[in-house]
Amino acid sequence: MARTATKTRQVILISGASSGLGEGMARQYAALGRDLALCARRIERLQQLRDELTQLYPNIRVAIAPLDVNDHQQVFDVFQSFKLEFGQLDRIIVNAGMGKGAALGKGHFAANRQTAETNFVAALAQCEAAMNIFYEQGHGHLVTIASMSALRGLPGAMTVYAASKAGLRALSEGIRAELLKRPAPISVSCILPGYIRSEINENLPKTPFMVDNESGCRALLKAIEKEPTEAYVPGWPWRLVGFLMKRLPLRWVLKLT
């Protein structure tokens, strides 16, 4: 669904904001003067981030809360608490995720299950909580952070990660489809980042087209602010890579990723 309002999305909630893309987006939004609702498991890192941002940008509000997104009731409680504190939430970025796992059949079911539950089931809880709030207040922008790996099945440690992100991509489209049935001034964007340097991928042995975290998060914000239905980030070379990934034989796709 296209953007339905031109006003600035002032209050931004970001999950998984204590590191990586979440922290990077928080820094970028603070520099733009946005108010922030930040949640993650590592509250000490959130406290440090809040103190730093409010010192650099004294005109913004930064609220923080501890959140394990796999505690689904806590997701609803924390999101609603932020909504009450700020009065409204203009944009909710479902960013928290993980990349543990291994090829199936290698005895790592627990790690694969944890990745699937965190990247999809916990994201489902966040989307549900977000849409509850948006329907209640009558507006909002839901952003899900998927991955370029959502476009195709991938081997090894990427198998379950890619599958969970593909599920998140489909979930995002399903929410957009529901909004076509019951129109409301609510936008839904699914963002597919390529390789942006963060804790989740810093040990990957093969990372083509990697960009640093600051540049990657700047590209993320540029895409999110346009409120697209879907965006590959950074645009170059990932739009081309995405076009090829959807069409090439799987054997060739592996050379791109």
> How many angstroms separate the CA atoms of 187 and 1, rounded?
6
- The DSSP annotation for 138-164 comes to T-EEEEEE--GGGGS---TTHHHHHHH
User: Is there a contact between 24 and 213 (Cβ–Cβ < 8 Å)?
Assistant: yes
Q: Return phi, psi of residue 250, to 5°.
A: -55, -40
Q: Tokens representing 207?
A: 């990372």
Residues 6+ positions from 166 with CB-CB distance below 8 Å: 146, 149, 150, 151
CB burial of residue 84 (10 Å; 0-12, 13-18, 19+)? exposed
DSSP assigned state of 117? I
> Cα(155)–Cα(139) distance, rounded to whole angstroms?
40
- Are 213 and 199 a contacting pair, CB within 8 Å? no
* Burial class of residue 205, CB neighbours in 10 A (0-12, 13-18, 19+): exposed
SS3 36: strand
Which of 29, 57, 161, 195 is catalytic? The answer is 161
What whole-number distance in Å separates Cα of residue 223 and Cα of residue 231? 7
Verify whether residue 195 is a known catalytic residue: no
Residue 156, CB-side half-sphere exposure with 13 Å CA sphere: 6
Identify the DSSP state of 255. H
Q: Which residues are catalytic?
A: 161
